[in-house]
Amino acid sequence: MIDKLIEIGRCYGMEMNVEKTKVMRISRQPLPIKIIIDQKQLENVDSFKYLGSILTNGGRCTCEINCRIAMAKAAFNKKRTLFTSTLDLKLRKKLVKCYVWIIALYGAETWTLRAMDQKHQESFEMWCWRRMEKISWTDHVRNEDVLLRVKEQRNVVREIRKPKANWIGHILRRNCLLQRVIEGKIQGGKKWQEDKEEDVGNCWMTLRKGEDTLI
């Protein structure tokens, strides 16, 4: 297939840069793949960035989620003076969600969240509120008290599931390969099917009944 791609590309004056071309196999036991182009073997990598998202050979989203959280925290620190100012609480919360959360949740509709990933997201949510209210960990203030102070509930995981539900609804209405991949079962892929059902949960069942969005 690669040879055919190179052949067609050359018909249009395009050449494949072997030095910049990498190969990655996504599997539970990712073995190296041997692909040779112009007598040069392509380099096997464990991860790479595609359209702003980090893909790993294990197929998990943990690395991407942690990277997004780190970027969001850096964005918060750049505007810390604004978020911790004397502005109205509602306005500051809107600014945090608009400026910081949008970075942390970029591409969330395609994530497969495990319990550990959800804990990371919830910890990031509390990190934002504590920094916004200048509450140090040495103050020994419980998360419940912080939420009462900012008049919020734990919403970050729900914010992730909203675009996820909308995206799945869009796919289910189409007759395409991606729909069959999502609804089908892979031979020997029982764990993947369990992860999918656990991740989508009630959203999946709601969408199968004909509802398009998650409230």
Look at 175 and 106; give whichever has higher pLDDT: 106
Categorize the per-residue pLDDT at 215 as very low, low, confident or very high, splitting at 50, 70 and 90.
Answer: very low
- Could you state, in order of their start, the residue ranges of all structural domains in the chain? 2-53, 60-157, 161-208
Report the Cα 176 to chain-centroid distance in Å. 23
Please write the tens of the pLDDT for every residue from 125-167: 999 999 999 998 889 999 999 999 999 999 888 888 887 777 7
Tens digits of residue pLDDT in 168-211: 777 777 777 777 766 665 555 555 555 555 555 445 444 444 44
For residue range 77-95, what is the model confidence (pLDDT) as tens digits? 999 999 999 999 999 999 9
> What whole-number distance in Å separates Cα of residue 84 and Cα of residue 82?
6
Query: CA 87 → CA 90, 91, 96, 147, 150, distances in Å?
Result: 8, 7, 12, 18, 13
Task: List, in sequence order, the alpha helices (H) in the chain.
Answer: 2-11, 62-78, 80-83, 89-96, 102-104, 115-132, 143-150, 156-172, 177-183, 190-200, 202-208
CA angle centred on 10, ends 4 and 16, rounded to 5°: 80
Cα separation of 96 and 210, whole Å? Answer: 34
Name the percent of the chain lying above pLDDT 90.
34
